[in-house]
Structure 1
Amino acid sequence: MGATAAAAIRRGRKFGQVLQGAREVFLRDGFEGASVDDIARAAGVSKATLYAYFPDKKILFFEVVRTECQRQAELAVDRIDEAAPPEKVLKTVAWRFVPFVLSDFARRIFRICLAEADRFPELGRVFYESGPALGHAHLATYLRAAAARGELRIEDFDLAAAQFSELCKAHVWTRSAFGVQTEFSQDELTRVIDGAVGTFLARYGV
């Protein structure tokens, strides 16, 4: 979200209430289908209160996406023990990343951004910068530290981080995104995550 959009947001006592109501309506109706009346009703506030916090629906959508993605990224980072062996760290990261990208929230937001890509390309950019790009940066930072300790052999850290993310989505992401399969068992996720970590370490492990 740009500095102008961020500056337009006014925080207050009912800020979180408005965000929760907006999250519910956006996920249910999409960006275009979500009306300010419905968001205000779901949040239990007046339209005047909603506009006092968020003068524009796009800014409200940006903040819903940013808040959820940042929360997920912080949860993932908090669980990383950088002193642990790479296999353990990568599995921890994957077990935070994979369930999130397969979540109802991520799947619906992705579809909204894709549907609005031509008219509002900034929606997709905000989602990417708040979610995938943030996680990518955190992972690349860890990989640099692990390589410096001699635990991994990597030259292009950004590429390696992107490759690990893609390995973690193998088999499950496209099936989820297209609605072919929306629920995955623990065994299915274990298969994908163990395969991703094993493949990654086969390429970059020492």
Structure 2
Amino acid sequence: MSTREQLGRSPADPSARLTDRIIDVATTLFLGVGYEKTSIETIVAKAGVSKRAFYARFGSKADLFAGVVIRLAEFHFPCMDAIASSTGPVERQLERVAAEILRITGKPEAIALDRIVTAEVGRFPELGRILIDFAASRTMGAVCKILDQAVARGEIGPLDTRFAAQYFLQATVAGPRRMIVLGLEDNRVTGKKLETLRRAIRLFLDGARGTPHGARHASRRPPSRS
């Protein structure tokens, strides 16, 4: 049974409760001491389970790490799905989803997870793929849905919405998130950060609409004096 199938079982199921306990212990250990220093022996000892019970649920430590990432994604990201399903101007939807991504990824556990992967992906390259497959794909899906709806309404495009979503996330989220992970900024979404986010979204949408940046606002500029 896959990790995702294990997590989808009813909490009333004794086997599911045991899976939850293993993931709870692993989450604490991974975020506390890192991936490499967390051994399966320590996990099963602290969870009070046998290795047989562990391997009946997870094929490896990497598989367990995937379970931790899925758990965090399932807990934090449903609100983004709601934003993507809401109605309103595309600019407002993109602002809401980007601000929510920054809020989620600025949480201490998300920062710790990012730092673990950054520090250990050289030795354990599978960690990067796990993070992309089970966490980043949720954010990508939400942005793609918003852009698909905007294309259908004729607000932007037509365009390759998957490529556009990747570009959007790089332009609006990746930079600020990196500064937080490096400890150069705190995780508060301040008014200044929101204004910078809005400027990035306007620039992105100008490109998505095929509008030269600033052309829509040219009438606001005072006439030049000769």
Taking structure 1 as the reference length, what is the TM-score of the superposition?
Answer: 0.81
Match of 2:36, SS?
helix
Unaligned runs of 5+ in 2: 10-14, 212-226
Cα deviation code 1:154-205 (max 9, x no counterpart): 4221221112112222652232122222333532432333223222223224
1:124-163 → structure 2 map (5 Å cutoff): 124-163=128-167
Q: Is the 8 A contact 1:22 1:42 kept in 2?
A: no
Match of 1:202, SS?
helix
Matched residues in 1 for 2:196 and 2:165: separation?
17
Matched residues in 1 for 2:46 and 2:187: separation?
27
- Relative distance call for 1:151 and 1:6 in structure 2 (3 A) is closer
1:115 aligns with 2:119: yes
Q: Which runs of 4+ in 1 moved over 4 A?
A: 3-11, 40-43, 47-52
Find the partner of 2:49 among 32, 42, 46. Answer: 46
Q: Is the 8 A contact 1:31 1:112 kept in 2?
A: yes
- Relative distance call for 1:171 and 1:129 in structure 2 (3 A) is closer
Post-superposition shift, 1:106?
2.5
Identity, in percent, stands at 25
- Relative distance call for 1:97 and 1:34 in structure 2 (3 A) is same
Q: Is the 8 A contact 1:19 1:64 kept in 2?
A: yes
1:28-177 → structure 2 map (5 Å cutoff): 28-40=32-44, 43=47, 45-48=48-51, 49-169=53-173, 172-177=176-181
Q: Is the 8 A contact 1:8 1:54 kept in 2?
A: no
RMSD, aligned CA: 2.9
Post-superposition shift, 1:93?
0.7
For the pair shown, the structure with the greater C-alpha radius of gyration is 2
- Relative distance call for 1:87 and 1:31 in structure 2 (3 A) is same
- Relative distance call for 1:122 and 1:188 in structure 2 (3 A) is same
Taking structure 2 as the reference length, what is the TM-score of the superposition?
Answer: 0.75
1:187-198 → structure 2 map (5 Å cutoff): 187-198=191-202
Matched residues in 1 for 2:187 and 2:143: separation?
26
- Relative distance call for 1:90 and 1:37 in structure 2 (3 A) is same
Post-superposition shift, 1:63?
0.6
Matched residues in 2 for 1:6 and 1:89: separation?
29
- Relative distance call for 1:93 and 1:166 in structure 2 (3 A) is same
Query: When the two structures are aligned, how many residues end up with a matched partner?
Result: 203
Matched residues in 2 for 1:42 and 1:198: separation?
50
Matched residues in 2 for 1:8 and 1:145: separation?
33
Matched residues in 1 for 2:159 and 2:4: separation?
36
Residue type of the alignment partner of 2:60:
D
Q: Is the 8 A contact 2:101 2:173 kept in 1?
A: no
Q: Is the 8 A contact 1:81 1:89 kept in 2?
A: no
Match of 2:91, SS?
helix
Match of 1:183, SS?
coil
Q: Is the 8 A contact 2:4 2:70 kept in 1?
A: no
Residue type of the alignment partner of 1:27:
L
